[in-house]
Amino acid sequence: MTTPATPEQPADVVARLRATFRTGRTKPVAWRTGQLRRLRELLTERSADLADALHADLGKSSTEAYRTEIDFTVREIDHTLDHLDAWLRPESAPVPAHLGADATAWTQVDPLGVVLVIAPWNYPAQLLLAPLVGALAAGNTVVVKPSELAPATSAALARLLPAYLDTDAVAVVEGGIPETTALLAERFDHIFYTGNGTVGRVVLRAAAEHLTPVTLELGGKSPAFVDRDVDLSVVADRLARGKFLNAGQTCVAPDYVLTDPETAAALEPLLAHAVETLYGTDPQASDAYGHIINERHFDRLAALLDSGRIVVGGGSDRTDKYLAPTVLADVDPGSPVMREEIFGPILPIVTVDGLDEAIAFINDRDKPLALYVFSESGDTRGRIAAETSSGGLGYGLPLAHLTVSDLPFGGVGESGMGNYHGRWSIETFSHRKAVLDKPLR
Ligand code: NAD
């Protein structure tokens, strides 16, 4: 009988990765692109393992697993491979006259060192791997910590990543609060956390001890404003797709609808129709519809169902962690469903009296991660853009802005700090060193 190996302690993992970084091995662009290509191979050769794990953790259909996690990350890798040389190129800066005509200045893009990536459970592969792509592309060594609430995906990543990547440069540490707390006691050169604001504060406090810079990808209530006189059947279809993907457990899902009473009344049957078109009359039997991550979140969500009149849905089955795609009308802004981020398949409709009141409603609350606007009016679109603050702004289509690799993805205020994707990941995981050269002669 063999005794299982003692897991490496966090301090030893970090020391080992720091030693690798000091050798300079991760700096050449060829090493970085080599690691990205290996990660791409993992995602293509072992995609079925990942899709199975995502199905076990969240009931994701394989179509959804490929679209929102596996192919998403492959696209991020391809985009990075196509542009990395350009993103890393030094940028020259004009030199003031007092330094003389022979002086030159530029910025050099340096890796930071050892990066920690802490991922959540809702897109447990994408939200661990997309930051990893950026951190490796920038030439860092990386510790990744998958979410213990998605145990099948965590185990798959812990098995597969070391089989494909340089194990002295990328380490997977599995576990929950004790393991993450132990990791956070170590000194990192950057911490990238995705999850809720309460833990975000824990991360920020721990990072302060070492003056470690932090990216916080958090959540919050992302509103969808629906103007009068728009094609409501298109709006209903897009709202339902964005909201009920992954059973509503998406950080940028439309959290609630904000509209005037007449538009709300017209939208109700169209949302019910859109849900039926997407998932049939019995969504529990639909392969396309996922389940709630665990019983704790199921109970939290079930308690929100009586915050309004049920337009469609409302059904649930705790043993299956199934909560029907649900639309609630006549929702009071002070009701429980409006007091916290829903993060589940419940879409409340809140009514306001026109655009001024909608803007005031949004600005009275925490700055959202995303804000969606369904309007044909240039004035309305322009006013919302100018008078509100949110991580991202989507006209006409929820969620899609985060698939544009060269748009920075991140929050503001309570929805987070910093951003990533595409070249923005290079900015996040690098230091831009200022260089001045004044010839000696
Ligand atoms: P979670 O519970 O999986 O937690 C995230 C990570 O924090 C996990 O790795 C977990 O182990 C760790 N953690 C939990 N408690 C901790 C503690 N006390 N100390 C140290 N580490 C701890 O995920 P979650 O927070 O439930 O995720 C849901 C939230 O994340 C929602 O608010 C959602 O909007 C947000 N989110 C944001 C984004 C984004 O990109 N901005 C993406 C997905 C989710």
Question: What DSSP line would sit under 105-126, residue for residue?
Answer: EEEEEEE-SEEEEE--SSSTTH
Question: Is the C-beta atom of 177 inside 6 A of ligand 1?
Answer: yes
Is position 427 within any domain?
yes
Q: Which of 116, 117, 121 to mutate to test the pocket of ligand 1 (most atoms within 8 A of CB)?
A: 121
In this structure, is residue 4 part of a structural domain? no
The single residue of 217, 341, 414, 427 carrying the catalytic annotation is: 217
In a domain, 2, yes or no: no
Write the pLDDT tens digit of every residue in 233-271. 999 999 999 999 999 999 999 999 999 999 999 999 999
421 in ligand 1 pocket by Cβ < 6 Å?
no
Same domain, 416 and 367: no
* CA-based nearest residue to 399, from 272, 177, 193, 251: 251
| Residue of 123, 205, 251 best suited for mutating to test ligand 1, as the one with most atoms within 8 Å of CB | 251
Is the separation of the CB atoms in 302 and 296 below 8 Å? no
Is 98 in a helix, a strand, or coil?
helix
Shortest-distance Cα residue to atom 2 of ligand 1: 120
Cα-to-centroid distance, 201 and ligand 1 (Å): 11
Task: Looking at the structure, tell me whether residues 27 and 142 fall in a common domain.
Answer: yes
Q: Does the annotation count 357 as an active-site position? A: no
Q: What is the mean pLDDT of residues 398-415?
A: 97
With bands split at pLDDT 50, 70 and 90, how would you rate the model's confidence at 43?
Answer: very high
Residues 233 and 264 in one domain: yes
Is 113 domain-assigned?
yes
Element housing 374 (H / E): strand 370-374
Nearest CA to ligand 1 atom 8: 147
Whether the pLDDT of residue 396 is over 50: the answer is: yes
- For ligand 1, the distance from its centroid to the CA atom of residue 194, given in whole angstroms, is 5
> Do residues 171 and 40 both lie within one domain?
yes
- Dist CA 270 CA 274 (whole Å): 6
pLDDT band at 192, cuts 50/70/90? very high
Q: Whose CA is nearest to atom 30 of ligand 1?
A: 195
Cα distance between residue 52 and residue 50, in whole Å:
5
312-361 pLDDT per residue, tens: 999 999 999 999 999 999 999 999 999 999 999 999 999 999 999 999 99
217 is catalytic: yes
Q: Which of 57, 64, 53 is nearest to 287 (CA)?
A: 64
Assess whether the C-beta atom of 181 lies below 6 angstroms from ligand 1.
yes
- Phi and psi dihedrals of 20, rounded to 5? -60, -45
The mean pLDDT value for 409-435 works out to 98
- The H or E element containing residue 143 is strand 141-145
CATH number of the domain to which 315 belongs: 3.40.309.10
Taking the centre of ligand 1 as the mean of its atom positions, its distance from the CA of residue 121, in whole angstroms, is 7
Classified as helix, coil or strand, 285 is helix
Report the distance separating Cα 172 and Cα 183, nearest Å: 11
Rounded to the nearest angstrom, the distance between the alpha carbon of 198 and the centre of ligand 1 is: 9
| Residue 358 in domain | yes
If you average pLDDT over every residue of the chain, what do you get? 97
**Which residue's CA is the nearest one to ligand 1's atom 22?**
177
Residue 2: pLDDT above 90? no
Mean pLDDT of 275-298: 96
| Residues 196, 262 share a domain | no
Say if residue 15 is in the same domain as residue 140: yes
Asked if residue 53 and residue 192 are part of one domain, the reply reads: yes
pLDDT value, residue 3: 54
Closest approach atom of ligand 1 to CA 118: 9
Ligand 1 contact, 17 CB (< 6 A): no
Specify if 1 maps to a domain.
no
* Cα of 436 from ligand 1 centre, angstroms: 42
Domain count, the chain: 2
Return the pLDDT at 1: 45
pLDDT tens profile 72-103: 999 999 999 999 999 999 999 999 999 999 99
Instruction: Read off the CATH number of the domain in which 193 is found.
Output: 3.40.605.10
Question: pTM of the entire structure?
Answer: 0.96
One of 69, 76, 251, 341 is an active-site residue; which one? 251
Q: Do residues 222 and 248 touch, judged by C-beta distance below 8 A?
A: no
Are 194 and 269 contained in the same domain? Answer: no
Domain-embedded: residue 3:
no
pLDDT at site 7: 79
The separation between CA 299 and the C-alpha centre of its own chain, rounded to angstroms, equals: 24
Q: Which is the closest atom of ligand 1 to the Cα of 195?
A: 30
SS3 289: coil
State the Cα–Cα distance between residues 425 and 421, nearest whole angstrom. 5
Q: Residue 221: what pLDDT?
A: 98
Residues 416 and 390 reside in one and the same domain: no
Boundaries of domain holding 64: 10-218+411-437
**Hunting for tokens 């990072």 — which residue is that?**
207
Residues 227 and 213 occupy one common structural domain: no
Indicate the pairing of strand 104-111 with strand 91-93. Answer: antiparallel
Check pocket membership of 121 for ligand 1, CB cut-off 6 A.
Answer: yes
Q: Whose CA is nearest to atom 3 of ligand 1?
A: 120
State whether the beta carbon of 217 lies less than 6 angstroms from ligand 1: yes
Residues 185 and 290 in one domain: no
Structure tokens at 134: 């950026």
Angle subtended by helix axes 29-45 and 47-58, to nearest 10 = 70
Task: Give the model confidence (pLDDT) of 143-162 as tens digits.
Answer: 999 999 999 999 999 999 99
Atom of ligand 1 nearest to the CA of 411: 41
Atom of ligand 1 nearest to the CA of 181: 20
Six-digit token string for 43: 């995602």
Ligand 1 centroid, distance to 120 Cα (angstroms): 4
User: Are residue 347 and residue 295 in the same domain, yes or no?
Assistant: yes
- The pLDDT assigned to 288 comes to 94
Kindly give the distance from the C-alpha atom of residue 195 to the centroid of ligand 1, in angstroms, as a whole number: 3
Of residues 132, 133, 136, the one with CA closest to residue 145: 132
Q: Using CA atoms, how far apart are residues 302 and 316, in angstroms rounded to an integer? A: 8
126 lines ligand 1 (CB under 6 A): no
Classify residue 5: in a domain, yes or no: no
